[in-house]
């Protein structure tokens, strides 16, 4: 079946899939969201006496006969991820995350009942429906005790993911896949150009090379060849990248890649977290890498340097060097400093490896964001380009160039 963009086509696909695979009638389909993936909630009939058996594939469990609520995620090719590996990587990451959280609560990770790669027509994952509401919009309205209770749980969950000892079959940085015998091994990342790599330095070098290729293809930045910036970028890749990345004593670490409020479900009555969702960007990085992808709404994202915003600059300094009691009282329209302080405090109590304790994370974070800026992803997103005015594109182009040049100057290039 070919990829279709019509919502009706997706709904027909869902009905046919559940009838063919499980002998279940689809009673109701609820579009939940469409960002990097199309996500639908589904209500189905209970299983009949002669329903088909489960799929024989790794990373799945049988669909219980009395289960009538499900979720299905379709990967969206417009999100510019590596569709060839995306679904399999997601299921493998979910499998590891479930193992990592077993001492705490493995039910936080939805069970997977079936999946199919994009190469077979549509990339999709059929999974368990989890109770709860998204934390993102609700968190700001919680009182201080409620916020702390939620942050304590986030800290405990993250501690177990970050400290999880990977299976011996995983020997590389990058993405994940299933071997023929069902074991999880290294593979390519859904983010283009990553792995499998023997070292973190090699992974970042692949990210750099991929972004340079994208920059050459981009009709906006045009490879940054209109000045000496391109020569300086090439010099960075050849002379500085390895030294900067190797400052981190990297340990292969499971990275969720989007651990934040919109991917956390919780019970409003008890403030108990009920699920951690969306493993699209999951991969094997270092103990530092989660801080480059996650926790923006609770002020745990390690942002790049040279941001012309005093609060952002101060937050970076706090993350790298520690918070003071005065920071908890700091006032700002854009930052909830009390939340930032409590999050850091709870991470510390849980034994999380925080940026302040990760040697070399300062330079690694700079390299990470620098590489992202070589070819900003939004320049390839059709939905963003359709809405962006020439003035906005020029503004972002100018800010990106300025950031690249400041980093290069800082590194002596």
Please give the tally of structural domains in the chain: 1
Q: Report helix angle 144-162 to 86-100, nearest 10.
A: 110
* CB 355 within 8 Å of CB 361: yes
Q: Is residue 52 part of a domain?
A: yes
> Model confidence over 144-179: pLDDT tens digits?
999 999 999 999 999 999 999 999 999 999 999 999
* CB 287 within 8 Å of CB 358: yes
| Whole-structure pTM value | 0.94
Q: Is residue 317 part of a domain?
A: no
- Secondary structure, 3-state, 265-298: EEECCCCEEEEECCCCCCEEECCCHHHHCCCHHH
What pLDDT does 1 receive?
Answer: 36
Q: Give the helix/strand (H/E) hosting 311.
A: helix 310-321
Residue 101, helix vs strand vs coil? coil
Q: CA–CA separation, 264 vs 392, rounded Å? A: 32
Q: Is residue 406 part of a domain?
A: no
Q: Measured between alpha carbons, how far is residue 67 from residues 18, 255, 313, 341, 390 in Å?
A: 13, 30, 49, 42, 50
Q: CA–CA separation, 109 vs 95, rounded Å? A: 8
What pLDDT does 5 receive?
Answer: 55
What pLDDT does 26 receive?
Answer: 96
Percent helix, strand, coil in the chain, to 5, is 45, 15, 40
Q: Is residue 14 part of a domain?
A: yes
What pLDDT does 52 receive?
Answer: 72
DSSP-assigned beta bridge partners for residue 38: 34, 74
Q: Which CATH number is 102's domain given?
A: 3.30.200
Q: How far apart are the first and last CA of the chain?
A: 51
Phi, psi of 296 (to 5 degrees): -65, -40
Spatial neighbors of 193 by CB under 8 A, at least 6 apart, are 206, 207, 209, 210, 211, 213
What pLDDT does 319 receive?
Answer: 98
Q: Is residue 123 part of a domain?
A: yes
What pLDDT does 185 receive?
Answer: 98
* CB 143 within 8 Å of CB 336: no
What pLDDT does 192 receive?
Answer: 82
Long-range contacts of 118-123 (CB under 8 A, 24+ apart): 118/3, 118/75, 118/77, 118/83, 118/84, 118/86, 118/87, 119/84, 121/1, 121/2, 121/3, 122/1, 122/3, 122/13, 122/74, 122/75, 123/74, 123/75, 123/83, 123/86, 123/87
- The alpha carbon of residue 313 and the mean position of all alpha carbons in its chain are separated, in whole angstroms, by 23
* CB 51 within 8 Å of CB 23: yes
Spell out, as residue ranges, where the chain has pLDDT lower than 70.
1-6
Q: Using the structure block, give the residue that is written with the tokens 């039910």.
A: 107
> Model confidence over 33-58: pLDDT tens digits?
877 889 999 999 998 877 777 778 99
* Mode of pairing for the β-strands spanning 133-134 and 124-128: unpaired
Q: Is residue 25 part of a domain?
A: yes
What pLDDT does 6 receive?
Answer: 67
| Domain that residue 37 falls in | 7-128
Spatial neighbors of 399 by CB under 8 A, at least 6 apart, are none
What pLDDT does 308 receive?
Answer: 86
DSSP-assigned beta bridge partners for residue 284: 174, 254
Q: Is residue 82 part of a domain?
A: yes
What pLDDT does 8 receive?
Answer: 76
Spatial neighbors of 263 by CB under 8 A, at least 6 apart, are 134, 276, 277, 278
Q: Is residue 22 part of a domain?
A: yes
């Amino acid at each position: 079946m070919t990829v279709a963009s019509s919502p009706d086509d997706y709904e027909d696909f869902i009905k046919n899939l559940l009838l063919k695979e499980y002998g279940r009638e689809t009673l109701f389909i609820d579009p939940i969201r469409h960002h990097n993936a199309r996500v639908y909630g589904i209500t189905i009939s209970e299983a009949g006496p002669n329903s088909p058996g489960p799929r024989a594939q790794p990373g799945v469990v049988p669909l219980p006969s009395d289960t009538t609520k499900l979720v299905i995620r379709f990967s969206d090719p417009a999100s510019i991820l590596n569709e060839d590996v995306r679904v399999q990587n997601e299921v493998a990451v979910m499998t590891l995350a479930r193992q990592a959280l077993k001492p705490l609560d493995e039910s936080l990770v939805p069970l997977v009942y079936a999946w199919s790669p994009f190469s077979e027509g549509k990339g999709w994952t059929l999974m368990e429906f989890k109770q709860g509401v998204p934390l993102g919009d609700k968190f700001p309205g919680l009182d201080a005790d409620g916020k702390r209770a939620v942050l304590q749980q986030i800290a405990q969950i993250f501690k177990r993911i970050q400290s999880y000892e990977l299976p011996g079959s995983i020997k590389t940085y990058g993405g994940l896949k299933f071997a023929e015998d069902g074991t999880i091994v290294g593979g390519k990342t859904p983010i283009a150009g990553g792995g499998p790599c023997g070292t973190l330095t090699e992974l970042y070098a692949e990210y750099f090379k991929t972004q340079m290729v994208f920059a050459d293809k981009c009709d906006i930045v045009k490879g940054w060849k209109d000045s000496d910036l391109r020569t300086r970028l090439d010099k960075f890749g050849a002379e500085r990248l390895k030294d900067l990345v190797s400052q981190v004593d990297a340990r292969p670490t499971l990275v969720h890649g989007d651990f934040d409020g919109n991917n956390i479900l919780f019970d409003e009555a008890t403030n108990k977290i009920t699920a951690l969702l969306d493993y699209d960007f999951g991969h094997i990085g270092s103990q530092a890498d989660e801080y480059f992808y996650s926790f923006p709404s609770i002020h745990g994202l390690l942002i790049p340097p040279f941001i012309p915003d005093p609060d952002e600059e101060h937050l970076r300094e706090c993350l790298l060097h520690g918070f003071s009691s005065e920071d908890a009282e700091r006032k700002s329209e854009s930052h909830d400093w009390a939340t930032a302080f409590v999050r850091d405090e709870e991470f510390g109590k849980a034994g999380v490896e925080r940026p302040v304790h990760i040697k070399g994370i300062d330079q690694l974070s700079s390299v990470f964001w620098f590489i992202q800026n070589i070819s900003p992803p939004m320049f390839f997103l059709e939905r963003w380009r359709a809405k962006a005015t020439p003035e906005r594109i020029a503004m972002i182009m100018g800010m990106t160039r300025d950031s690249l040049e400041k980093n290069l100057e800082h590194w002596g290039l």
